[in-house]
Every structure is written in C-alpha cells, then in structure tokens.
Amino acid sequence: MEISVATSNLEEKPSPKPEARKRTSLSSAAIYERVKNMAATFELRPGERINEIDLSKQLDVSRTPLREVLNQLMVEGFLERTTNKGFVSRPLDVKQIFDLYEYRLSLETAIGRLACQRATDDEIVQLERSVQEDAAVPEDSDSNQLLALDEAFHMRLAHLTRNDEFVRALSNVNARIHYVRWIDMRNGRRPYTQAEHMQIVQALKARDEVALVKLLEGHIARRKEQITEVIKLGFSEIYTRQRG
C-alpha cells in the first residue's frame, strides 16, 4: 500500500519589508509657489542656510524637483547661493530693499505712461470701480487682505499696458518686497494707499501723464530712513514669530 504524505501547499514567503515612504505628487509649480512664499515672507530667515534634505521632508517632495525650484528662485532673486553654504535665504537689508523700491518706481512710472496711451475708457472705468470697492474694505481688516488689494491694483494698472514683460517684471518685484510692504501695511499705511489709488485713477482718466507719474512717484517712493524703520520692525516680527 502506498501511503501519500500530505504536504503544505503554503509557500514560505519572506517577511514583508516596511513600505518605503512615498512622496506626495506635488507638481513643480506647486513646490515653486510654496518655497517662493516661504522666501517672500521670510519663513526662511534672512541669511539662513537651506538644508535641502530637511526642506524636502518638510514639503514631502523629492530633492530633484526641489533643487530645480531652488535654482529658479535663486535666478529670480529670492535666494542666494554660496560656495560653502549652498542655498541661503536672501538678506533683509536696507540697500537691497531700497534698490528694489527704486526699480519698482522706474517700472511703475513707465507702466503709468503706457497705460495713459493704451487703456480704453471702459477699462479705466472698471479700474475706478474696483478702487471704490477696495475702499469699502475696513481699515482694520487682515493685513494680508489689505496688501493683496494694493498689489492687485498695481497689477491691474500694469495689464492696461498690454505688455506682458511689464506685468511679469512687476509681479516679480512685488513678491520680493511683499514682506516689507506687509509690515508697512500693518503700521497704518492703508488710509493713504486707497486715497492715492483714486487720485492715480483720476489722472489716468484725464490722460494726464505728467500728473499720473508725479502721483506714482509720491505713492511708491520710500526714503532710506523709512525703509530702515520698516526693516527693524520686520526683524522683530521674524525672530519673535513661532516656527512651524
């Protein structure tokens, strides 16, 4: 008699390995916007070395797209790169901010001249209505909201030139002085801003290029001592805020 021996049909399998940690599928554009915001608001503190490994973990992204973003932001002036430290956050100093305001002034006066020539009457009326709507926002509203309204006004003015390069350049400089303007807005700039916007629109409506440029100069220009004071307030906010 032949005796069959039953054998287990279960195959021996290796113990499961811990599943590799997956990175989120953030697009390069999303990574760019997140890191740009961190740089613009000095969540990356002035002069701070950027640890790419830690930042990739914080954002839950791989280092390759992150490195591409850091290089792009360096080219755009939001970060710097040194031989020994790698990428570092840009400084917050009077000279750099003054230079940016000076650049913004020359840029926006050129925008104003071109808008006088190219904006249609209907477009100017729409801009006037938007300023009237902005003026209805309470002065004690959140500073981020107030600054967003202010930046939007200047971007709408830039779009009236029908020149994409002006729009792109203004968007960049706005982002690079965003933090300083936010500090400025928190310290009582709002009432003057809205009144000056309406005066700018009225000059545009009258196609008075000379008056418009003069108004923009008064609206945008900042003396070095003013910038120095705002930067002092900015440093105080940066180093007393809680880091996430």
39-97 residue pLDDT tens: 999 999 999 999 999 999 999 999 999 999 999 999 999 999 988 889 999 999 999 99
Q: Give pLDDT, residue 168.
A: 97
Q: Is 115 exposed, middle or buried (0-12, 13-18, 19+ CB in 10 A)?
A: buried
For CA atoms 208, 214, 219, 220, the dihedral sign is positive
Domain boundaries, the chain: 28-89, 94-240
Q: Is the model's pTM score more than 0.85?
A: no
CATH topology of domain 94-240: Four Helix Bundle (Hemerythrin (Met), subunit A) (1.20.120)
Contact criterion met (CB below 8 Å) for 94 and 228: yes
| Fold equal for 28-89 and 94-240 | no
Q: Taking the domain 28-89, which CATH number applies? A: 1.10.10.10
Angle at Cα 129 formed by Cα 123 and Cα 133, nearest 5°? 145
